[in-house]
Amino acid sequence: MSKINVTLGIDIGGTNTVLGLVTKEGECIKKSCIPTNAMDTAEDLFKRIFAEFEVLLPAADGNYNLVGIGIGAPNANYYSGCVENPPNLNWGTVNIIELVKKFKDVPTALTNDANAAALGELKFGVARGMKNFIEMTLGTGLGSGIVVDGKLLYGHDGFAGEIGHTIAVRDGRKCGCGRKGCLEAYVSAGGIKRTVFELLVQSSDRSVLRDISYNELTSKKIYEAAVNGDKIANTAFKVTGKYLGESLADSVAHLSPEAIVLFGGLSQAGDLLLDSVKKNLENSLLNIFKGKVKILVSGLPEGDAAVLGSGALIWHELNNQ
Closer CB to a copy of itself, residue 3 or residue 179? Answer: 179
Q: Which of 131, 132, 139 is nearest to 112 (CA)?
A: 139
Considering the complex, state which of residue 102 and residue 131 has its C-beta at the smaller distance from a copy of itself.
Answer: 131
Taking each helix axis from N to C terminus, what angle separates 219-227 and 189-202, rounded to the nearest 10 degrees? 60
Please report whether residue 128 would count as binding a copy of itself according to CB under 8 A. no
Instruction: Decide if residue 153 touches a copy of itself (CB under 8 A).
Output: yes
131/210 with CB nearer a copy of itself: 131
Using CB under 8 A, which of the segments 42-50, 59-67, 166-174, 273-281 binds a copy of itself?
Answer: 166-174
Total length of the chain: 321
Q: Does 289 bind a copy of itself (CB under 8 A)?
A: yes
Enumerate residues 6+ apart whose C-beta is below 8 A from 157. Answer: 77, 79
84 binds a copy of itself, rule: CB under 8 A: yes
Output 56 or 147, the one with its CB closest to a copy of itself.
Answer: 147
Which of the ranges 24-32, 141-149, 207-215, 299-307 carries the binding residues for a copy of itself, by CB under 8 A? Answer: 141-149
Is 157 among the residues that bind a copy of itself (CB under 8 A)?
Answer: yes
Under the binding rule (CB under 8 A), the answer on residue 292 touching a copy of itself is: yes
Between 37 and 256, whose beta carbon lies closer to a copy of itself?
A: 256
Stretch that binds a copy of itself, among 14-22, 59-67, 268-276, 283-291 (CB under 8 A): 283-291
CB of 295 to a copy of itself, least distance (A): 14
Q: Is 257 in the site for a copy of itself (CB under 8 A)?
A: yes
CB 139 within 8 A of CB 117: no
Query: Does the protein bind a copy of itself through residue 242 (CB under 8 A)?
Result: no
Contact between residue 155 and residue 163 where contact means Cβ atoms under 8 Å apart: no
- Residue whose CB is less far from a copy of itself, 139 or 164: 164
Determine phi and psi for 298, rounding to 5 degrees: -45, 135
Closest CB 254 distance from a copy of itself, rounded Å: 5
58 versus 156: smaller Cβ distance to a copy of itself: 156
Instruction: Say whether residue 151 binds a copy of itself (CB under 8 A).
Output: yes
The answer to the question of residue 177 lying near a copy of itself (CB under 8 A) is: yes
The least CB distance from residue 132 to a copy of itself, in Å, is: 4
Give me the least distance between CB of 243 and a copy of itself, in Å please. 10
288 touches a copy of itself (CB under 8 A)? yes
| Binding interface with a copy of itself (CB under 8 A) | 75, 84-85, 131-132, 146, 148-149, 151, 153-163, 165-167, 169-170, 177-179, 246, 249-251, 253-258, 284, 286-289, 292
